[in-house]
């Protein structure tokens, strides 16, 4: 979707559809009143009769019958005026764009960002909602039953508006959204390790990021036995993807991002049930989010140094597969007793987290679709957050509140360490049925050393089974907007 700013009076602006925000309780603002009058009081009547009460994310499309140059009004409910937030605008724009999908309309204009107090935050939210809500993955559809939705959106401002700042906001927001959609595309693709690495290389070349992909022999030379153990059950060899973006001075310590890159998780010998197993192609969503974040940071020229590490493998029960009872020596030297081959994510991550130490990270952040237990705890509304540094957790939390990609902290108290003790090795790779998200976090904590570290369990948030306003069902691309927001804070703090 392409966006442009246009300076015009909504009453004289020609378009196929004009998106207008409506409140439940107060529609006295001048633009709304003028529009109402121009269409013969029709809007006011819709509210008075409660045909369209302006509840959040409700959308009505109505024809204007030539009364104004805009052919249609798209009324978007924004809830109560006092409660208006960026997230309401983001969701409203997403809901409206989704409502326009399946119609013949290809272009629309919005004044959603002018609702309430207006401002550049609302502008950003409107662009995000529209760009993300309009997404669809149709690469493998040969019979097109979908018109592809809106291709072009105009953001309307009054004629005399000084638009330089707004143009910058739109341009930057589009870049971040492009990265989110890149992640969604990657996650939607069928699982394939080499494909993920290839996309990493292509993307890096396009954005001036350094990318190196370690193949099996180099992974062996590094002693990443935990990654190798997981990969042994598959014909597809593992890869270790290393991305480096230098946006600050060479001496500046980098933020290191680590993402789980399991391109398909069958569970291995501890095989998963067949129901819904196809969804486990999304098990590289953390890795994809890391790639997308580097892409966005480079596109925005953020003045930070960033490293992205993506251990990638496929977890299958082949003849060479690792099995319960095996003991694996990780790159860090710590030994791991395998009790469940389906706890493969932490295996590949522990080698990557250890590898990360060589960068002396200013902060170490991992993202992983790590545990079903996290989905049980938080559903698909928030990602689980764990970590060893209050300041870093606070920064992530505030970035999350700001961008709408919520996180919720789970504790890593000492007592939970008991769950991961093995009788014969330093650790075992799975705890019992209790506190599954936390015991996984605890396992990772054993490999981060003294680094300031946060772990984000995105098992519930990487994929939606139902449409959300700006997350059509399927891959969400979660993580990119959160980390970009966090990194903007890092850049500012210097």
| Alpha-helical segments (H) within 12-85 | 30-38, 42-48
Reading the block at residue 86, the tokens are: 């960026």
Over the window 324 to 363, marking each residue x when it contacts Mn ion by CB under 5 A and - when it does not, the resulting string is ------------------x-x-------------------
Residue 220 Cβ, how far from ligand BES at the closest point, in Å? 23
425: left (phi over 0), alpha (psi -120 to 50) or beta: beta
Which of 80, 101, 272, 323 is flagged as catalytic? 272
* Cα 356 to Cα 216: distance, rounded to the nearest angstrom: 18
Q: What residue is closest to ligand BES based on CB? A: 372
Let me know if 323 is a catalytic residue.
no
Let me know if 346 is a catalytic residue.
yes
**∠ at Cα 60 (56, 66), nearest 5°?**
140
Identify which of residues 43 and 370 has a Cβ nearer to ligand BES in the complex.
370
Residue 283 lies near Zn ion (rule: CB under 5 A): yes
Residue 444 Cβ, how far from ligand BES at the closest point, in Å? 13
Residue 430 lies near ligand BES (rule: CB under 6 A): yes
Query: What residues numbered 372-391 form the site for ligand BES, per CB under 6 A?
Result: 372-373, 375
* Cα 424 to Cα 444: distance, rounded to the nearest angstrom: 19
Which of 199, 239, 346, 445 is flagged as catalytic? 346
Residue 345 lies near Zn ion (rule: CB under 5 A): yes
* Cα 369 to Cα 372: distance, rounded to the nearest angstrom: 8
Mark the segment that binds Zn ion (CB under 5 A) among 153-161, 170-178, 283-291, 457-465: 283-291
For residue 373, the partner it binds in Zn ion, ligand BES, Mn ion, none, with Cβ less than 5 to 8 A by kind, is: ligand BES
Nearest residue to 3 (alpha-carbon basis) of 173, 176, 182, 184: 173
Reading the block at residue 262, the tokens are: 């399991």
Give the one residue of 94, 436, 469, 477 binding ligand BES; rule: CB under 6 A.
436
Give the one residue of 100, 256, 328, 343 binding ligand BES; rule: CB under 6 A.
343
- Give the DSSP per-residue string, 214-267: E-HHHHHHTT-HHHHHHHTTSSSPPEEEEEEEE-S-TTSPPEEEEE-EEEEE--
Give the one residue of 56, 134, 308, 345 binding ligand BES; rule: CB under 6 A.
345
Per-residue exposure over 101-115, b if at least 16 CB sit within 10 Å of its own CB, e if not: beeebeebbbbbbbb
Residue 345 Cβ, how far from Zn ion at the closest point, in Å? 4
- What contacts 24+ positions apart, CB below 8 Å, involve 272-277? 272/342
Identify which of residues 156 and 269 has a Cβ nearer to Zn ion in the complex.
269
Give the one residue of 73, 132, 382, 459 binding ligand BES; rule: CB under 6 A.
459
Could you tell me which residues are beta bridge partners of residue 20? 75
Residue 342 Cβ, how far from Mn ion at the closest point, in Å? 4
Residue 226 Cβ, how far from Zn ion at the closest point, in Å? 14
**∠ at Cα 115 (181, 14), nearest 5°?**
75
Catalytic residues: 272, 346
**Where does this chain bind ligand BES (CB under 6 A)?**
265, 283, 340, 342-345, 369-373, 375, 430, 436, 459
**Where does this chain bind Zn ion (CB under 5 A)?**
262, 265, 283, 345
């Amino acid at each position: 979707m392409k966006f442009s700013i246009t300076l015009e009076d909504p009453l004289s602006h020609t378009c196929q559809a004009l998106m207008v925000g409506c409140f439940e309780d107060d529609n006295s603002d001048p633009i709304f009143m003028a529009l109402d009058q121009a269409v013969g009081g029709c809007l006011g009547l819709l509210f008075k009769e409660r045909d369209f009460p302006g509840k959040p994310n409700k959308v009505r499309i109505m024809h204007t019958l030539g009364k104004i140059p805009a052919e249609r009004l798209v009324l978007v409910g924004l809830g109560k005026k006092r409660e208006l937030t960026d997230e309401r605008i983001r969701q409203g724009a997403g809901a409206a764009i989704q409502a326009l999908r399946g119609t013949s309309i290809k272009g629309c204009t919005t004044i959603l960002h002018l609702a309430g107090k207006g401002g550049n935050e609302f502008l950003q939210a409107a662009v995000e909602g529209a760009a993300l809500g309009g997404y669809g993955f149709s690469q493998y559809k040969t019979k097109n039953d979908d018109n592809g939705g809106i291709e072009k959106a105009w953001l309307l401002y009054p004629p005399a508006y000084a638009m330089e700042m707004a143009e910058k906001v739109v341009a930057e927001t589009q870049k971040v959204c492009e990265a989110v959609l890149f992640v969604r595309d990657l996650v939607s693709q069928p699982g394939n390790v080499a494909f993920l690495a290839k996309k990493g290389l292509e993307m890096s070349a396009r954005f001036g990021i350094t990318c190196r992909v370690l193949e099996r022999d180099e992974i062996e030379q590094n002693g990443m036995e935990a990654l190798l153990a997981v990969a042994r059950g598959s014909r597809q060899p593992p890869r270790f993807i290393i991305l480096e973006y230098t946006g600050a001075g060479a001496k500046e310590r980098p933020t290191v991002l680590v993402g789980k890159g399991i391109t398909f998780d069958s569970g291995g010998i501890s095989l998963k049930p067949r129901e819904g197993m196809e969804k486990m192609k999304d098990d590289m969503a953390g890795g994809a989010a890391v790639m997308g974040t580097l892409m966005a940071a480079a596109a925005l020229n953020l003045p930070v140094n960033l490293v992205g590490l993506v251990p990638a493998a496929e977890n299958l029960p082949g003849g060479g597969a690792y099995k319960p009872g095996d003991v694996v020596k990780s790159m860090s030297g710590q030994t791991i007793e395998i009790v469940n081959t389906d706890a493969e994510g932490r295996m590949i991550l522990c080698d990557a987290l250890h590898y990360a130490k060589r960068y002396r990270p200013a902060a170490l952040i991992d993202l992983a679709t790590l545990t079903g237990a996290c989905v049980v705890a938080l559903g698909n509304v928030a990602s689980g957050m764990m970590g060893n540094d209050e300041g870093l957790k606070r920064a992530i939390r505030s970035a999350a509140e700001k961008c709408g990609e919520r996180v919720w902290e789970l504790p890593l108290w000492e007592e939970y360490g008991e769950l991961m003790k093995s009788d014969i090795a330093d650790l075992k790779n799975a705890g019992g049925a209790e506190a599954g998200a936390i015991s996984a976090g605890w396992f990772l904590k054993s490999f981060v050393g003294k680094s300031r570290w946060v772990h984000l369990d995105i098992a519930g948030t990487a994929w939606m089974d139902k449409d959300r306003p700006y997350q059509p069902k399927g891959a969400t691309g979660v993580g990119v907007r959160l980390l970009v927001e966090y990194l903007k804070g890092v850049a500012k703090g210097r």
